[in-house]
Amino acid sequence: MSTAFTFNNHASDGAARCGEISTPHGKIATPAFMPVGTAATVKAMLPQTVRETGAEIILGNTYHLMLRPGAEEVAALGGLHAFMNWKGPILTDSGGYQVMSLAKLRKMSEEGVTFQSHIDGSTHELTPERSIEIQCLLGADIQMVFDECTPYPCEKEEARSSMELSMRWAGRSKAAFAEHGKSGQALFGIVQGGVHPDLREASAKALLELGFDGYAIGGLAVGEGQDLMLQTLNVTAPFLPEDRPRYLMGVGTPEDLILSVARGADMFDCVMPTRSGRHGQAFTWDGKVNLRNARYADDPRPLDETSGCPAARDYSRAYLHHLVKAREILGAMLVSWANVHFYQDLMARMRNAIREGCFESFAQETVARLNAGAGKET
């Protein structure tokens, strides 16, 4: 393990934590939301604009990048940071989730997965060793073990054997990282086990035995619903060490983030702010705003006149409605920007509430406000 990767927990408020991660490309205040830069771009946003929203780390997708432009190609161009002109830290996933959700004709074995590209049908293989090699070629500051994304729903025995395979792959990932990882880079383990508390416990203990720089909770936000997701987080977090960051993968809505921070999660990623942005769905403190709705055609109000984000502050809902209806690229640009800014603002306010010891009341008031606003938008 590196010496440069550190996590310091500066303040706690109940189970909620406020801290700081250090990486070779800079620091990350936690709880942190990582915008998703799937194909070496946070969609419809300049990297500089992403940074200006307050985002300190972004996520890159191993599956997408290995297929196009290719990990060796990115490495030859100086690595992912240089390639996409992002100067801050980058976390890459392992490719496991996308192989299951996007690729065709998968074939699983103890060794790994062979699959066909969703882009051109070409055949590829991902193993723990190759996943880590790719993440090292990309130059990710934080890398993830290669795991099998357990389907949901599934039988408990299927969840068990899938988790146990992922734990064996975690060991192989760690060995590969020891060989390829550079000083300061970090490797996170991923707790699996579906919605079964005993499997989650076994998975967490297996990972702790191996030892990682941080611990992710995987296999959630895959259709189990918010209640089961939070229950699983409840029963998993106590098995994770206090002195390592906890990353809840693929989560979520603003409410999901608040309720998960309340349960001790430190890091999140989700395509929601950018994907919703491209579809004209804006996040505001009064809930979601569907800009396609005709009610906004003559609405001179901005999304949030008090926002520090130009996209939320300087354009009327009527204009955004027009752009979305006319399928103008600027619509995707502005709403994605406003959404990523909103998510970062939410994280900053959560960090502040934790430091001030008022996280519980902040969480209750904010969730209530988000839901009250959402009721008006039908």
Q: Which of 8, 12, 11, 32 is nearest to 20 (CA)?
A: 8
- Cis link prior to 250 (omega < 30° from 0)? no
Query: Which residues, in sequence order, are bridge partners of residue 316?
Result: 302
Three-state secondary structure readout of 57-80: CEEECHHHHHHCCCHHHHHHCCCH
Region near a second copy per CB under 8 A, out of 72-80, 131-139, 149-157, 159-167 = 72-80
Contact pick of 2, 12, 27, 69 for a second copy (by CB under 8 A): 69
In the window 14-43, what residues touch a second copy (CB under 8 A)? 39-41, 43
Contact pick of 297, 358, 368, 372 for a second copy (by CB under 8 A): 297
120 in active site = no
Region near a second copy per CB under 8 A, out of 67-75, 95-103, 181-189, 341-349 = 67-75
Q: How far is CA 205 from CA 180, 190, 248, in A?
A: 25, 11, 17
For a second copy, which is the closer residue by CB, 43 or 355? 43
Decide if residue 326 touches a second copy (CB under 8 A): yes
Contact pick of 76, 358, 368, 372 for a second copy (by CB under 8 A): 76
Rounded CA gap, 324 and 186, in Å? Answer: 40
Catalytically annotated residue among 13, 93, 141, 345: 93
For a second copy, which is the closer residue by CB, 159 or 324? 324
In the window 330-349, what residues touch a second copy (CB under 8 A)? 330, 332-334
Q: In what order do the strands lie in the sheet with 142-144?
A: 32-35, 267-270, 246-248, 214-217, 186-191, 142-144, 90-92, 58-60
x-marked contacts with a second copy along 249-288 as a string, rule CB under 8 A = -----------------------------x----------
- Cis link prior to 31 (omega < 30° from 0)? yes
266 in active site = no
CB atoms within 10 A of CB 116: 15
Decide if residue 86 touches a second copy (CB under 8 A): no
For a second copy, which is the closer residue by CB, 82 or 372? 82
Catalytically annotated residue among 147, 213, 266, 269: 269
Q: Which of 23, 5, 85, 93 is nearest to 50 (CA)?
A: 85
Contact pick of 73, 125, 209, 242 for a second copy (by CB under 8 A): 73
Rounded CA gap, 54 and 31, in Å? Answer: 12
For residue 186, the one-letter residue type is: A
Active site residue ranges: 93, 269
